[in-house]
Structure 1
């Protein structure tokens, strides 16, 4: 037995005409004389309201992270390595944004940037050939039997 479930029918409504806009008041000619203020400036600042209350679950998420990864990330941003200016600085190796080899690949990127993103007319150079996570549905080489 097969059944087809349909959503309940909504009542039909007829379009109504929009009401006429209100007529301008007598003081509308004086609007140019009124000073303009931003609404956010009228609100009190967060510091004047005191400490914000937070649930225990939210405070666990909002607390500073003391993991070794985040400690290293903080040290690398506070004291970054530079070959000339700061040779004793910290090198961040835990991020995929490693800038140490930028001078080595800068020429290739500047020459092949467009081709690497959109591909070429018959070549295999494309973002799916460079990035390991593309395409999302799997590699064609592994799908072909």
Structure 2
């Protein structure tokens, strides 16, 4: 969730000023802004454009090109489901169906309360424990629908505290 301070200031100025005014740092700056806000606010994009003396359209192009970057708010818990060959064969779509049923959103969406976002990737790199998903930076393998529900319940109780 955004803190009160983050709600008031979406400029990303503190992140931007950590970097020299050089174009080669653009992607790194965008990634750090994303890390701070869980998305790239319009205000931060415009601020970065001024800082680097580059058109907003160029930054917008980068932000929409890279799948890891988002111009819309993401959830507190970002769920990434692998749908690579090994995971697909092992039942990643069953995992996805369970997630959709359990939290009520589809890939690319975020819950209204900003607790969860779901996305898919072509490979997480954990084929030996397929099907696999990540929640934030934690990996979960050998998934079943029952296991998915147990994992989600941990994150629901954490966010209720």
Q: What TM-score, normalized by structure 2, do the two folds share?
A: 0.21
Of structures 1 and 2, the one with the larger relative CO (CA 8 A, separation 6+) is 2
* Higher helix content, 1 or 2: 2
Q: What TM-score, normalized by structure 1, do the two folds share?
A: 0.22
* Higher strand content, 1 or 2: 2
